[in-house]
Amino acid sequence: MLVRNAVSGCVAVAVASVAMTGLAHADAPTGPTPHTAPAPRVTVTPTVAKQKATVAVKVVGAPKTCRSVSARSDAFVKPVTLAKKGNPPVYSGPAGVKANAAPGPHQVMVGGVGCGKWTAKAKLTVLAPSPKPVKGKVISKTGVHVRQQPTSSSRITGAYRKGQSIDLICRKVGQPVGGNRTWYQVKTPKGWVTARYVKANGAVPPCK
């Protein structure tokens, strides 16, 4: 009986000791959470650009210890070293888009020298080049009016004379004129001419 009571007492003390140890660990301070600096932020303006255009690259939040910050992209003519200004510093500079940059999204990568390994990213979308206009010739004896919209009741914005060569940008279905529903968009003066009185010298693409 005495042995059984002694064993029971030892078990109780052990359980209490484990419980107190658990509480001690649970209440123990974990220490301050290490501070992590926010990642540098890069912006490209405009985010959508044509081939041969110039965009502005700007970086905010780069480490102050950077000796230089540069931006690169397969859409750029060459990597660009960004100018430093202000405190905290802001890095910015112009970048030229290649004349043959592939249409679509491109990644812009920015990194620094002398300030650790870090990379900031942004996206630049290159627009597809506009198709070259197709030459057309006015075949009406009285010429043809340029209309604001592809309809003969729309406001007149200009006119072309008989035999005049004009640039046709694209084609669109509009009000029929002499049974012909096709209209061509022209740039100068801006508007539309009916295909009934204009002969295209090639295939005119549809308007988007």
Sequence-ordered strand ranges (E) for the chain: 41-45, 48-49, 54-60, 68-72, 80-85, 90-96, 104-113, 120-126, 134-138, 144-147, 156-160, 165-168, 170-177, 180-186, 191-194, 198-200
- Per-residue pLDDT, averaged over 63-68, amounts to 91
Ranges in the chain annotated CATH 2.30.30.40: 134-200
pLDDT of residue 130: 82
Mean pLDDT for all residues in the chain: 86
**Does the pLDDT value for residue 6 go beyond 50?**
no
pLDDT of residue 36: 55
**Does the pLDDT value for residue 164 go beyond 70?**
yes
**Does the pLDDT value for residue 182 go beyond 50?**
yes
CATH architecture of 41-126: Sandwich (2.60)
Report pLDDT digits (tens) over 101-159: 999 999 999 999 999 888 899 999 999 988 889 999 999 999 999 999 999 999 999 99
- Per-residue pLDDT, averaged over 175-202, amounts to 96
pLDDT of residue 123: 97
Look up the CATH number of domain 134-200. 2.30.30.40
pLDDT of residue 20: 41
Report pLDDT digits (tens) over 31-58: 444 445 678 999 999 999 999 999 999 9
Ranges in the chain annotated CATH 2.60.40.2950: 41-126
